[in-house]
Structure 1
Amino acid sequence: MARIDDPRQAGARLDAIAARTRSDDQRQAEASVAQIIEAVRRRGDAAVLECSERFDGCRPEPLRVPEARILDAWESCDPGLRSALELAHRRISDFHQRQKPSDIHVSGIHGEELGRRWRPVGNAGLYIPGGRASYPSTVLMNAVPARVAGVQRIVMVTPPSADGSVNATVLAAAHLCGINEVYRVGGAQAIAALAHGTESIDRVDVISGPGNLWVTLAKKAVYGEVGIDSLAGPSEVLIIADQSADPEQVAADLLAQAEHDPLAAAILLTTSRSLAEAVPIALATQLERHPRAEVCRASLQRWGLIAHCPSLEAAAQLSDRFAPEHLELLVERPAQLADHIRHAGAIFMGPWSPEAVGDYLAGPNHTLPTSGTARFAGALSVETFMNHTSLIRFSQAALEATGAAVIALAESEGLHSHAQSVRQRLS
C-alpha cells in the first residue's frame, strides 16, 4: 500500500487511481461489446445463450427462472437472514418514499397555466451482478426505488453459476421486492437483451444496476435507446481521519472496499503520522485469516494509498479532487468537516457509521457515482425510474400579452412559421 507525505504527490496519485479503468483493455472490450449487442439485436435468444455459454460456462435454458423457484427461495431462507432482509427493505423503502418528487403547478399573471408532471416509466430492468460474490443488497437498492416510483413491470437479470443456478438469497430478495420476472443471464448480452428485447425478454425503458467493465460498456452503448442509471466503476472508499481514529477500525473499513475487487480503491488521508504508521500493521494482522485475502492484497497493492496531510482542510481538498464514491469522516467533528466537502457519493460521519451500514440498510441508496463522477452525479433514486413532462396552457389573454415578444424572438432566429403560428392567432 503506497505511503505519501507530500500533498502534491498525493493529488497526482489520486488522479491515477480515479483513471484506473481507462486503458487499452477498455478500448478492446468496447469493440467486443458492440459485437455482442449487434448479435443479440439480430438473433435474440440464440445469441444470448451462445454468449452465456462462452462467457459463463453455462447454457441457461430456459432463460427465465420459474416463479415457484423464487417463492421457494424466500420460504426456505434462513429466518435470521430473512429478518435482516425485511429490516433492510423497510428502512430503504421508508427513505425512498421521502424522495418522491412533487408535481409543479403555476398560475401566470396573464391567466396561463404552467406545470411539471412526474410519471413512472413503464418497464425497468435491474442488473444484479454475480461472479465473485452475490448481492441481495443490490436487489433491494434497485428494486425499492423502482417500486416507489410506481413502475409496473420490473425485470431482473443476473449471471448464473456454472451449473445454471441463481443464488438463493438473491432470489429471496427479489420475492421480497415483488419481482417474479427473473432471467439467468449476465454480461453485455443481458444489457443488450433488456435494451432491444428477445423472444424471451421484452425490452425495458430504463436499466439500472452495477456490473463489470463489459456490463458498464454495454450500458454506455445502449444509452439513448433506453435510459440508464449511471456508468458504475469499481468500488472505492476514501477515509479522512485524525488522531481520534482507531487504526483497527480504519483498517477494517479499508478492507471492506478492497475485498470487493482487485480494482477497488481504498484510500486514507490523515493528519496523524502515528495513525499512518499503525494502519498498515493493522491491515497485515487482519489479512492473516481473511477469506478474501488475495483479492484484498491485489487491491491494496495497486490502488491503495495512505497520505499524510498537514490539515483537515488539505485532506478535504484532496477528497474533492478525487470525488469518492464513499467518504468516511473519522474525525472529532465530522459534521463540521462534512460542510467543507463538495463532491462525494455518500458521506459517513463518525466512528459509529461504517460504510457497511450504507451498503445494507441505512436507507439511502448504495448505488453511487464512482471514478470521480460524484463531481456531477448522485445516487440512484426514485427519480431514476420516472420522467417529467412540462404542461403549458395559455389563454387568449396570455397569448395577446406575450405574443409580440414571441414573434420578435422567432424572427430574430429566422424562423418564419414560428412567428406566423402566433401572428395568425392574434389576427
Structure 2
Amino acid sequence: MLADEAKINVRSGDGGDGLVAFRREKYIPLGGPAGGDGGRGGDIILRVNPKMGTLMVFKKKVHYKAANGQRGGSSNKTGANADDVIIDVPAGTIVRDADTGMLIADMVKPGQEVVVAKGGRGGHGNTHFKSSSNKAPRVAEKGAPGEERWITLELKLIADVGLVGVPNAGKSTLLSVVSNAKPKIADYPFTTIQPNLGVVTYDDADLIFADIPGLIEGAHMGVGLGHAFLRHVQRTRLLVHLLDGAGEDPLADYNQINAELALYDADLGEKPQIVVFNKMDLPMAQERWPEIEKTLRENGADPIAISAATQQNVKQLVQRAFEEMAQLPERDPETEAESELYELEDNGPVFEIVRGGEGEYIVKGERIERAAAMTYWDYEEAVNRFQRILEVLGVTQALKEAGVETGDTVFIGDYELEWTD
C-alpha cells in the first residue's frame, strides 16, 4: 500500500548554556574569565533515500526530537554539539509548513537534504564579555532554543510514463504484462486505489511506468480523491491514455479525462500522450475501433489498438513509448523543484458571469473555458459530461441565480450555447 501523505512534528535541540568560570591556576591569582561556549543543538534534517517508496514509516512515528547541545566547560572548553537527526524520505516528497502551507522543499534527487528545524546556537561563555572595564565578567549566555514545527509530507511519484484512463480501462492489466509490477486486478471499477509502479525494459533501456487510479468527473475538484491521484501524474513526462473499448462511450471518456487533466493543471493538459484503445480481444471493441480511430485521428491523435489481456500490439506500444520518450527533453529536477506548478492556489473565483449587450450570458474563467474547448460537442454523452462539469463547478447554479431562462444564449469561451433545463 502506498502511503503518500503524512504530518509530523519536528523539534530541534536547544543550544548548550555558556559557562561562567575563571582560571584557577597556581601562581596566577588573578586568572581571567575562562567559561566555554555551549554546544550547538541538533538539527532535524530530511534526506532523500532512493530505496524508500512510501511515507508509511510516518504513520507509526510522528514526533522527532534532536538532542540539546552540551554546556560549556571550564578552561574555555566548548560544549559538545548534539548529533543531527536525519529523517529519510522517498524521492518526490514535497515538504510544507503545516500551519501556513508554505513550500519548504521539493525533494527529488537521491541524497538531497533540507534542514526543517535548525538547532539552537550555543550560548557564549563569560570569556566573550571581558572588556577593559570589566575584566572579571560574571555573565554568560544560555543556549538559544531550538525550533519546533509541524510539517506535511506529500509524495508525488517520480515516474517516466503515467497510465491514465477511466476506472476499469485496463491500466493495471497493462502494467502487469509490460513490467515486473503485480497490481491487484479485477473486473470492477476502482480495483486500483493506490498508484502502482513498474519498471519496463526495452533494448537495455528502462522506464518507470505508473498506474494511476481511474479518474472520474470532478477529479480536479478533489472528487473521489482526485487531487491525491492527479498529483502523481504531474511529474511524468509522457502519458499513456487508455480507452476502455468495452465501455459505454470511449470517446466521451477520452474527452472527460483530458478535461480533468487540464482543469487540474494547464501544463498537465498539454503533456504528450499516446492514445491506446484497449480490449481488442472483445467483439464489441473490434466493431467500434474503425470509427473511433477515424474520429481520434481527425482530432489530432495517433491512436493504437491493443489487448492488454492477450498482449496484442503491447510490444508495439512499449516500443512507441520508448521512441517518444527518447525525443522528449531530459527531466531537470532542479527546474522542476523550483516550479510552482503543483501549487493549487486560490487565484480568485473559478469563473464569473457577465451580461452581454444583447442580454446574453457570458461565462468567463480559465478552467471552464478549457473544459469547453476540450469537449466533443458532436457527442451527446460528451455534452452531458460537460453539463455535469458545469454543475460541479457551480456554474449551473450561478446562471440560474443570475436569471437565465430556457432559450437564452450562453457564451463559454468561443462556444455559443442555448440554455435548456
TM-score (norm 2): 0.22
Higher-helix-fraction structure: 1
Instruction: Say which structure, 1 or 2, has more relative contact order (CA 8 Å, 6+ apart).
Output: 1
Higher-strand-fraction structure: 2
